[in-house]
Structure 1
Amino acid sequence: MKRKKLVVIGNGMAGIKCVEEIYKLDPQQFHITVFGNEVHPNYNRILLSKVLQGDSSINDIVLNDWSWYEEKGIRLYTGETVVRIHAETQEVETASGIRTAYDSLIIATGSSAFIPPIAGVRKPGVISFRNIDDCNTMMDYAKKYRKAIVIGGGLLGLEAARGLLNLGMETDVIHNAPYLMNRQLDRMSADLLRAELEQQGMRFWLNKETESIIGLNRAKGVRFTGGSTLEADLIVISVGIRPNIQLAKTCGIETNRAIIVDDFMRTSIPHVYAVGECAEHRGTAYGLVAPLYEQGKVLARVLCGQDTDPYTGSVPYAQLKVSGVEVFSVGDIREGEADTALQMYDGVRGTYKKVTMKGGTIRGAILFGDTVEGTSLLSLVKRKAPVSALSTPAGNSGGGGLDAAAADMPDRETVCACNAVSKGAIMRAVIEDGLQTPEQVRDCTKASSSCGGCRPMMEAVVRYALRNGKEGLSSAAPPVCGCTELNHEMLKASIAQKEFSDIHEAMLFLGWKKPLGCEICQSSIRYYLELFHPRLSIQEVSFVKDEKYNSLSVGIKTSEDKDEEFNSRYLGEKLRKVWEPLSLPYPVKAAITSGMNSPAGVLVHDIGITGAPAGWEIFAGGHAEHPVKQGQLIGIAETDEQAGELAVSCLQLYRERSYYGESVWKWIEREGIVEIREMLFDLDFRQELVERAGDAGMPIKNDERLGEGICGNC
């Protein structure tokens, strides 16, 4: 098949991440051409401060070197700026006159440093901090001059100031807000950070507005709005970024603050897409790496013609080292955005933790000095978990605390959110691939290769894997069968992260000992494929299948009492429409009865629903055979609709979190009834489960909502 032509404008992190994903999905589909206006290959812009501070060289932060482009057959133009997009002929043109045709075009032009309208800001001696050339300029200045000013007390400004200190320059930081990093921190954590940085030698000027840059032929300092001045030989501007959209505007692409894209990263012109800091999705332009990578993965699937969930937005977060201090921030943390749910300060350890809430759900968090809990708090904020889901404080800081957290972390939990790398993936890289160092794990899995905030936890997981070997994986859970060394947790994680066209492709990729597998593993793989990738057409694939694992029976019994307020038969029929098309990991039996006068054995069924004076009571985990198990109360619903949603969400949660061949009662004992209740009491998460159950089986239409319109007189 003739390859299509893909052109990428921008050689930065977002555009090349999309290219990497395309090569994973279909390496033969495109001839790819990349234009970058810098002379370097793709590098990690987030780690520029490490270069400035002397911790890394430029080669250390390169993500894809020259050989990578050559091996992939990518035509790379460096030092070339695209100045025109000819949408009518589907060509791009550079400033030097190069014209290249495209079938699909990705605009990934990123952003530039925002330069505020300060008088004299264009004088020699005033620079921004955005790329490798800026780093080199600052290092050159440090050889000749003594004093520096950084305008901007945000993350990048503080990193620049730390680098200038390391270069031997006296450094003042000017910030127009009352405290540092006011977008990511609260007053308490910002004051702790300021005290630490002042000990390192920085000086701060807060609530100050810069009126002009003083000096005749070159910058000699700044003048504040009040008239006072501050002398300096070098002035670094770091007050924010501005998306690079001029190219898109000149060719008629719809823009706002950035290039407007839809949920599949399409611009207003056919065959032209945008991704990264230059893209605006649902009114938001993201400047952090994790959202940009999420966009790149969606766009890669779109370009490769594969079904994909739409990009619906991201929860931005920051987990980094600010001048050697661990900092984590996510969600609504500013005053007035949310209420404080938890606030703790340890003066001995120098740590601070704050969690915010709104409407009873977790909405934001700040960690200072110890960010062990960062990934778990990020997960809670993303799913708007109830405040009751908050864990107890982490143990000792430092290596012991990290090592303990790594040991307790489930294999499925994400360590590197930027690249979606789980603990299990890191463990397998060490145990199965024989990797020995964090650097090797980084290169193999990409964990910690982006913002670097997860590096301490990644190193702790590597240490844990080296100490414990296979016994550390999922508590040494046994493999699915004799055809593989993977247990169910590992198999689920692998299938969730990658789509396979059929069962046998999955076996080949996952290193199955027997090419055709057996009845157990074929059925397991099929179930997980249907669960995580319901759009895949795998029905025609030849495999062994045990039909009993797809059976669900619903028993319904109504009371003879004419005064009974609950109509169990009507609710049961509504639930049956949603439940029966679903594939299940194990046979499930459900019982629904209108009242306690007709118990129908609800307490010894996998799902039991009964009418009671307080409303519908929903139980799960009952078992009538040996060993006999009594169902545990999941919750009470006042209305028929709430009862239906609670029952369906419970069954869907079981489908998603159980192992193939695991009964409901075994799943509840393994997960814990308290954790299951907390997840189901999260109303937003519960609704997501209901919608996913509808997607997997029979769509739940508005006129067929669970229990809608049911009453005792129907």
Structure 2
Amino acid sequence: MKRKKLVVIGNGMAGIKCVEEICKLEPQLYDITVFGSEPHPNYNRILLSKVLQGDSSIDDITINDWAWYKERNIRLYTGETVVRIHPDSSTVETQSGLRAEYDSLIIATGSSAFIPPISGIHKSGVISFRNIEDCRKMMDYAKKYRKAAVIGGGLLGLEAARGLLNLGMETDVIHNAPYLMNRQLDRTAADMLRKELEGQGMRFWLNKETESITGLNRAKGVRFTGGSSLEADLIVVSVGIRPNIELARGCGLETNRAIVVDDYMRTSIPDIYAVGECAEHRGIAYGLVAPLYEQGKVLASVVCGRETPPYTGSIPYAQLKVSGVEVFSVGDIREDEAETAMQLYDGIKGTYKKVTMRDGIVRGAILYGNTAEGMKLLDLVKRKSAVTALAASPGDGESGGFDEAAASMQDRETVCACNAVRKSAIMEAVIEDGMQTVDEVRDCTKASSSCGGCRPMVEAVIRFALRQGRTAEKQAEPAVCGCTEIGHERLKSAIAEAGFGSHSEVMRALGWTKPAGCGICRPAVSYYLALNGRQDANSRSDVDVNIFNIGLSVGIVTEEEQAAPGPFDSRSLGTALYRRWEGVPFPAPVNAAVTAGLHRPAGVLVRDIGITGAPSGWEIYAAGHAEHPVKQGQLVGIARDEAEALAMSVSCLQLYRESAAFGEPMWKWMERYGIIEIRETLLDAEFRSELLARAGAPDRNDNKEEGLGETYAAYLQ
């Protein structure tokens, strides 16, 4: 099949993250061409401050080296700036005259440093801090000059100032607000940060507006509004960013502050998409890595023709080390946005914690000095949790920090939000794959490879995993069959991660002793391929055809058949449940029962899924078994109405499909997985939304709990 042509304008983090995902999903679908204006392969712009501070080299912050592009047959043109897009002919043109045709075009031009309209701002000796070349200029200036000034007291400005101090320069920071990092911190945290940085040698000029850059031919200092001035040989401007949209505007794309995109990253012209800092989604242009990566994953599925949940927006947060100090901030933290729910200050330890709320809901948080709770608080903000949930968070200022937080985290909780890496993935990398250092885990899972803010927690999870491995010898997973030494979990993971598309690919790559497998392993491979959407039902063979007959059967007792009719519509609910899973394979046969009330339970407690109307609402039970060994179903949850009952049942069944071994009945899965873990997973709104998405929910609203009912109402018609 002839490959389509994909052109990506921009070789930065967002665009290449999208390319990475495309190569995982459909490695043979596109001939990919990437244009980058810088003379480097893809690197981590967030870690430029580490290079400036002398902690890392350019190679250390390279995400994908030259070999990565070559291995995937990606044409990379570095030092080439695209200057025109021709939608009518589906081509792009570079400044040097190169032209490239496309079937799909991704604009990932990122942003540039915002240069304020200050008199003399374009003089020699005034630079911004956005790329590798800026780092090199600052290093060169440090060899000749002694005094530096940084305009901007935000996160990037402070990191630039710290780097200049490391280079031996006297460094002043100029900020137009009354305290540092005023968008991420409150006055208390900012004052703590200022005192720490003053102790490191920085000097601060707060509430100062820069009127002009002094000097004749080159910069010699700054003059403030009001007449005072400051001498400086090097002036670094770090006051914000501006999306690069000139190229998009020139070809007629709809733009506002950035390129306007919909929930699938589509622009106003067909076959042209935008992602990253140059994209504006629902009026917001994000400048942090986690939202950009989330956008990239959605866009990769779109251009590969895969069904995908829409991108509905992100909760921006900052978790970074500012000049040796751990800082975390998320959500609404200003007094005019929310009120204080919790505030803890420890002047001896130099730690501070503040959590905000509005209408009883957690809205934001600030951590200074100890950010071990950062991901837990981020999760509470994302889930719009009630402030009562704070009682379950250690957060008393006396906890053991990252090690204690790592031990108390559940396996499904996120450690690295930028790359969506959960604790379980890091534990598996350490215990099963033998990784022992944070760099090894980073290369294996991507955890800590982006902003680097999660690195302390990744290190803590690694220590926890190593302790677990030493205290309890891991039992070898039984092989699927005699054709292989691989167990179900490893087989399932390999198929999910490697992108295999057929039995032969799986068995060849994983070292099967029988090239065609047998009647035991072949159905298992078929199921795991189908679970990942990698095998068409029409291509299955006689050996594995039976997996598509392992589905869900539903018994329904309606209101009319009951001795005492009630208000519950069991017929619609049972029918909707059956239709949702019709033709979808399961690890083992699943029997369900739906009844409108307890008067005719219909064996609800001895079915794999049992749903019954009750005074409190619909009760959902799971993992019952009517034959030997008889098992009573466990209460999974209680739903308000039919739509929510359907959503809870579907998410439970999807969790079973994804985490059970092929051939493992639901009652065995329950005993292994644990009812507490299942309940907590299904009650986690964000994780339940992910399960529903993978189960194929239509028109879902991931950010609203009430959206669960709206989503499944259509099934009940």
Do 2:355 and 2:364's aligned partners in 1 also have CA atoms closer than 8 Å?
A: yes
Aligned pairs for 1:649-664 (under 5 A) are: 649-656=651-658, 658=660, 660-664=662-666
Q: C-alpha distance in 1, partners of 2:349/2:516?
A: 55
Question: Are the structure 2 counterparts of residues 403 and 490 from structure 1 closer, same or farther at C-alpha, using a change threshold of 3 Å?
Answer: farther
Do 1:161 and 1:171's aligned partners in 2 also have CA atoms closer than 8 Å?
A: yes
Q: C-alpha distance in 2, partners of 1:491/1:407?
A: 28
Matched with 1:570 is 571
Matched with 2:235 is 235
SS of corresponding position for 1:366: strand
Which amino acid is 1:238 matched to?
S
Matched with 1:711 is none
Aligned pairs for 1:303-318 (under 5 A) are: 303-318=303-318
Measure how far apart 1:46 and its partner are. 1.2
Q: Report the aligned-residue RMSD.
A: 4.1
Measure how far apart 1:47 and its partner are. 1.3
Aligned pairs for 1:408-427 (under 5 A) are: 413-426=413-426
Q: C-alpha distance in 2, partners of 1:503/1:548?
A: 19
Do 2:363 and 2:384's aligned partners in 1 also have CA atoms closer than 8 Å?
A: yes
Q: C-alpha distance in 1, partners of 2:712/2:620?
A: 24
SS of corresponding position for 1:63: coil
Measure how far apart 1:443 and its partner are. 3.9
SS of corresponding position for 1:253: coil
Q: C-alpha distance in 1, partners of 2:689/2:19?
A: 34
Matched with 1:56 is 56
Do 1:383 and 1:685's aligned partners in 2 also have CA atoms closer than 8 Å?
A: no
Measure how far apart 1:579 and its partner are. 5.6
Q: Deviations over 1:89-139 (max 9, x none)?
A: 343333333444444433222111001122222233322111122112222
Q: C-alpha distance in 2, partners of 1:468/1:614?
A: 41
SS of corresponding position for 1:43: coil
Measure how far apart 1:150 and its partner are. 1.4
1:253 pairs with 2:239: no
Measure how far apart 1:159 and its partner are. 0.3
Question: Are the structure 2 counterparts of residues 2 and 619 from structure 1 closer, same or farther at C-alpha, using a change threshold of 3 Å?
Answer: closer
Measure how far apart 1:504 and its partner are. 4.7
Q: C-alpha distance in 1, partners of 2:146/2:348?
A: 36
Measure how far apart 1:335 and its partner are. 3.5
Do 2:564 and 2:599's aligned partners in 1 also have CA atoms closer than 8 Å?
A: no
Q: C-alpha distance in 1, partners of 2:270/2:631?
A: 59
Q: C-alpha distance in 1, partners of 2:653/2:585?
A: 11
Q: C-alpha distance in 1, partners of 2:285/2:63?
A: 23
Question: Are the structure 2 counterparts of residues 298 and 437 from structure 1 closer, same or farther at C-alpha, using a change threshold of 3 Å?
Answer: same
Q: Provide TM-score, normalisation by structure 2.
A: 0.83
Q: C-alpha distance in 1, partners of 2:524/2:183?
A: 46
Q: C-alpha distance in 1, partners of 2:362/2:451?
A: 24
Q: C-alpha distance in 2, partners of 1:522/1:51?
A: 51
Matched with 2:703 is none
Measure how far apart 1:73 and its partner are. 4.6
Matched with 1:478 is 477
1:392 pairs with 2:402: no
Do 1:623 and 1:665's aligned partners in 2 also have CA atoms closer than 8 Å?
A: yes
Moved more, 681-690 or 548-557: 681-690
Matched with 2:704 is none
Which amino acid is 2:554 matched to?
S
Q: C-alpha distance in 1, partners of 2:303/2:131?
A: 29
Q: Deviations over 1:230-272 (max 9, x none)?
A: 3333221111101111122222222221122334433333443
Measure how far apart 1:567 and its partner are. 4.6
Question: Are the structure 2 counterparts of residues 683 and 377 from structure 1 closer, same or farther at C-alpha, using a change threshold of 3 Å?
Answer: closer
SS of corresponding position for 1:296: helix
Measure how far apart 1:279 and its partner are. 2.0
Q: C-alpha distance in 2, partners of 1:31/1:694?
A: 29
Matched with 1:161 is 161
Identity within the alignment, %:
68
Matched with 2:442 is 442
| Alignment gaps of 5+ in structure 1 | 709-714
Question: Are the structure 2 counterparts of residues 470 and 519 from structure 1 closer, same or farther at C-alpha, using a change threshold of 3 Å?
Answer: farther
Aligned pairs for 1:266-665 (under 5 A) are: 266-338=266-338, 340-357=340-357, 362-384=362-384, 391-393=392-394, 401-403=401-403, 405-406=405-406, 413-426=413-426, 437-463=437-463, 476=475, 478-479=477-478, 481-482=480-481, 493-497=493-497, 499-509=499-509, 515-517=515-517, 521-533=521-533, 537-542=536-541, 543-544=543-544, 545=546, 549-556=550-557, 564-567=565-568, 569-570=570-571, 573-578=574-579, 581=582, 583-624=585-626, 629-637=631-639, 639-656=641-658, 658=660, 660-664=662-666
Q: Provide TM-score, normalisation by structure 1.
A: 0.83
Aligned residues: 703
Q: Deviations over 1:419-453 (max 9, x none)?
A: 34445555555566665544344345443332222
Do 2:480 and 2:488's aligned partners in 1 also have CA atoms closer than 8 Å?
A: no
Q: Deviations over 1:189-222 (max 9, x none)?
A: 3333223222222223333333333344433333
Measure how far apart 1:677 and its partner are. 4.6
Which amino acid is 2:567 matched to?
F
Measure how far apart 1:88 and its partner are. 3.3
Matched with 1:121 is 121
Matched with 1:79 is 79
Q: Deviations over 1:661-692 (max 9, x none)?
A: 55555555555555555555566776776676
SS of corresponding position for 2:539: coil
Do 1:412 and 1:489's aligned partners in 2 also have CA atoms closer than 8 Å?
A: no
Question: Are the structure 2 counterparts of residues 383 and 588 from structure 1 closer, same or farther at C-alpha, using a change threshold of 3 Å?
Answer: farther
Moved more, 626-635 or 36-45: 626-635
SS of corresponding position for 1:42: coil
SS of corresponding position for 2:63: strand
Do 2:573 and 2:716's aligned partners in 1 also have CA atoms closer than 8 Å?
A: no
SS of corresponding position for 1:92: strand
Which amino acid is 1:120 matched to?
G
Matched with 1:97 is 97
Question: Are the structure 2 counterparts of residues 635 and 703 from structure 1 closer, same or farther at C-alpha, using a change threshold of 3 Å?
Answer: closer
SS of corresponding position for 1:280: strand
Which amino acid is 1:237 matched to?
V
Measure how far apart 1:528 and its partner are. 4.5
Q: C-alpha distance in 2, partners of 1:6/1:617?
A: 50
Matched with 2:194 is 194
